[in-house]
Amino acid sequence: MPRPELLERLAVQTAERAQAQLQRRLRTITQADGPWVESNGQRLLAFCTNDYLGLAQHPKLIAALKEAADADGVGSGSAHLICGHRREHAALEETLAEWTGRERALLFSTGYMANLGVMQALLQRDDLCVQDKLNHACLLDGAQLAGATLRRYPHADVDAAARQLRSNTDTYALLATDGVFSMDGDIAPLRELAALCANERATLMVDDAHGLGILGDDGSGSVAEAGLGERDVPVLMATLGKALGCSGAFVAGSAALIDGLMQFARTYIYTTAMPPALAAATRCAVALARGETWRREKLTGLIQRFRRGATELGLPLMPSRTAIQPLLLGDARRTLEASKTLESQGLLVVAIRPPTVPQGQARLRITLSAAHEEAHVDRLLEALASLRLADAPV
């Protein structure tokens, strides 16, 4: 038998996915203007970005980015530990540590890389890593990359998490959870998980990609909203590309954690530091996210308006009070059809299908933003009403 060929296998897998009508497609956006996007010559009102506070196009962010680029150029030129760590990075790390109430913070180029780096630095082969089944892919991948024993518990089930931790009490253990679940919008039972970890001598890590900027008094996130601090959640990770409207991520915690990550997190060490101008723009975004509380208030009002309207229409809402308001339709094809029909009516709402979500749990992942207006939400509700989704079998 000749050696099998890798690209052929990939082509077969791609064809199978297309046959199952689960193929992912790339869309090019030719223009973005607040909640509006232009694609294929069509202007669409988008309900699928993670720009929850409407900061991605804020003139102050753009000015900060330009000013820093004028002063320092575009690329950082090297990894942080060589000579890529600029004063804009240092200032942003200080700002993020202060905002989240942590001793220090460390920047990563993306959230995906932050989670891989943390897991790989903290965990060794056969350590125990306990995770919610609905955690973001990069937390699951991180545990696998580290060679840890990955044990997943049913969504938000603290008793099941306890059983997983108690299945092996002799090893080091990390319990990792999303703060706000990216495809569901609900919030992890953080207080219960923190108590469990304290009892079991496990370290708790929270990925607050979708909570930072949105939850807590000054938007400092789901962990602060739950009244938890650095002792309860020693490893806090969040991204800069969602509510902050920029790109990148950080890990916040004790000086010992950050020193350790700098030594051992390979996705921090062996990669180019993010552009310093991006760090400058992000610092401006943090100031706006903290100070302009009207953005959170407006978003909350829009969320409530959407949920009220959707309830009246009998739509299959999920239990979420965050900007992520999915409608659980179940069937992947029907969800895709719904998304296409909405698009024909000028609305961009993506269909999220397996394998991103479990089989039979396809959904329209609707996200709201402070950039939306009440009339936009009403328009979405009207379009959803015309789809007769209330009759959809879940």
Ligand X SMILES: Cc1ncc(COP(=O)(O)O)c(C=O)c1O
User: Of these, 49, 95, 110, 282, which contacts ligand X (CB under 6 A)?
Assistant: 110
**Number of H-type helices and E-type strands within the chain:** 14, 14
Structure tokens belonging to residue 223? 């962990």
Smallest distance, Å, CB 272 to ligand X?
15
Q: Verify whether residue 242 is a known catalytic residue.
A: yes
Smallest distance, Å, CB 112 to ligand X?
4
Structure tokens belonging to residue 282? 């992000």
85, 89, 242, 372: which one is catalytic?
242
Binding mask 55-94 for ligand X (x = CB under 6 A): ----------------------------------------
Smallest distance, Å, CB 327 to ligand X?
19
Q: Given the rule CB under 6 A, which of 167-175, 205-213, 358-366, 384-392 is the region that contacts ligand X?
A: 205-213
Is 153 annotated in a binding site? The answer is no
Residue 243 interacts with ligand X (CB under 6 A): yes or no = no
Interaction residues for ligand X, span 138-197 (CB under 6 A)? 138, 178, 182
Q: How far apart are CA 340 and CA 16, in angstroms?
A: 22
Instruction: Name the nearest CA neighbour of 88 among 103, 111, 67.
Output: 67
Is 372 annotated in a binding site? The answer is no
Is 172 annotated in a binding site? The answer is no
Sign of the alpha-carbon dihedral angle for 11, 341, 346, 36: negative
* β-strands 235-239, 173-178 pairing: unpaired
Residue 239 interacts with ligand X (CB under 6 A): yes or no = yes
210, 298, 372, 376: which one is catalytic?
210
Give the position of tokens 């090297």. Answer: 78
Structure tokens belonging to residue 274? 């993010």
Q: How far apart are CA 347 and CA 300, in angstroms?
A: 21
Q: Given the rule CB under 6 A, which of 11-19, 106-114, 224-232, 301-309 is the region that contacts ligand X?
A: 106-114
User: Of these, 35, 111, 117, 216, which contacts ligand X (CB under 6 A)?
Assistant: 111
Closest CB to ligand X among 102 and 242? 242
Q: How far apart are the first and last CA of the chain?
A: 47
The residue count for binding ligand X (CB under 6 A) is 13
Smallest distance, Å, CB 259 to ligand X?
23
Is 136 annotated in a binding site? The answer is yes
User: Of these, 249, 348, 362, 384, which contacts ligand X (CB under 6 A)?
Assistant: 249
Opening angle at CA 204, ends 200 and 205, nearest 5 = 160
- Phi, psi at 33, each rounded to 5°: -150, 90
Q: Given the rule CB under 6 A, which of 157-165, 202-210, 297-305, 371-379 is the region that contacts ligand X?
A: 202-210
Q: Verify whether residue 58 is a known catalytic residue.
A: no
Q: How far apart are CA 246 and CA 243, in angstroms?
A: 8
Is 356 annotated in a binding site? The answer is yes
Q: How far apart are CA 10 and CA 17, in angstroms?
A: 11
In the complex, residue closest to ligand X by CB: 111
Q: In whole angstroms, how large is the CA radius of gyration of the chain? A: 21
Q: Given the rule CB under 6 A, which of 2-10, 107-115, 197-205, 226-234 is the region that contacts ligand X?
A: 107-115
Q: Where are the beta strands (DSSP E) in the chain?
A: 31-33, 36-39, 42-46, 104-108, 128-132, 149-153, 173-178, 203-207, 235-239, 249-253, 327-330, 347-348, 350-352, 362-365
Is 272 annotated in a binding site? The answer is no
Is 155 annotated in a binding site? The answer is no
Residue 136 interacts with ligand X (CB under 6 A): yes or no = yes
Is 52 annotated in a binding site? The answer is no
Instruction: Name the nearest CA neighbour of 136 among 239, 20, 12, 63.
Output: 239
Q: Verify whether residue 298 is a known catalytic residue.
A: no
**Is the CB of residue 181 less than 8 Å from the CB of residue 218?**
no
Applying CB under 6 A, the residues found at the interface with ligand X are 110-112, 136, 138, 178, 182, 207, 209-210, 239, 241, 249
| Binding region for substrate | 24, 136, 356
The catalytic residues are 182, 210, 242
